[in-house]
Amino acid sequence: MITLSDNLELYHGSYTEVSVINLSKCSEGLDFGKGFYVTSSQKQAISYVPSSVRKAKRREVIPENFDEADGRISVYCFHAADDLLIHCFEDADAEWLHFAACNRSKSLFPELRKKYAAVDIIGGKVADDVTAITLNNYVAGAYGVPGTAQADRIAIELLESERLTDQFCFRTPDAIRTLAFLRSDSYGDVK
């Protein structure tokens, strides 16, 4: 079961330390929309660093000769707040799939984007670089029309074979205030 509990350590893998979170720098088009993404799995955060370094090099945010070993895993402590709206998808099911799809394609499932618009933190299974291919194929209609029983069944079956860990998207300033930065570990030291 995916839950956020008080004092839970959460991790964010990147090319750089993120001691101060700036939501305006967060990307659109990710699984749970725009927000700051963390996971309870240190291993998952560590595995994301090489991808983050590659993307930052492509965007010319860092020099081409940036050493992957200098990437960082930022560590936070979550402090629960009663006034936040939190939703955690329990499984990689049809609603999770549709919500991830609607955040990748604005034309799909607008009712879900509206349903979750006011939620401060959304948690669920992570679609890593491997599972992202399945989601992109689903959005593109490779398994049939998105939202049909056939397309959903095929995509979910393909995703269930992956070992999906959790992710949490902190989408509002109030949500960000619940994360206390603890430290940043060097990718080269922990990989």
Distance CA 3, CA 130 (A): 24
Domain boundaries of the chain, sorted by first residue: 9-186
Would you place residue 129 in the very low, low, confident or very high pLDDT band (cuts 50, 70, 90)? low
Q: Which of 167, 186, 170 is nearest to 178 (CA)?
A: 170
pLDDT tier, 161 (very low <50, low <70, confident <90, very high otherwise): low
Residue 150's identity, in one-letter code, is Q
CB proximity list for 102: less than 8 A, separation 6 or greater:
108, 109, 110, 112, 113
| Span 75-104, average pLDDT | 93
Comparing CA positions, the residue from 69, 36, 25, 52 lying closest to residue 169 is 36
Can you tell me the distance from the alpha carbon of 116 to that of 119, in angstroms, rounded to the nearest whole number? 5
Considering the entire predicted model, what is its pTM? 0.88
Question: What pLDDT is stored for residue 162 in this prediction?
Answer: 58
Instruction: Decide if 51 contacts 159 (C-beta within 8 A).
Output: no
Tell me the two tokens of residue 85.
């709206």
**SS3 label, residue 46:** helix
pLDDT tens per residue across span 8-64? 999 999 999 999 999 999 988 888 999 999 999 999 899 999 999 999 999 999 999
Percent of the chain with pLDDT over 90: 75
| Tokens at 42, concatenated | 């240190």
**Which conformational region is residue 184 in: left (phi greater than 0), alpha (psi within -120 to 50 degrees), or beta?**
beta
Q: Tell me how far apart the alpha carbons of residues 46 and 182 are, in angstroms, rounded to a whole number.
A: 16
Separation between Cα atoms, residue 124 and residue 114, nearest integer Å: 18
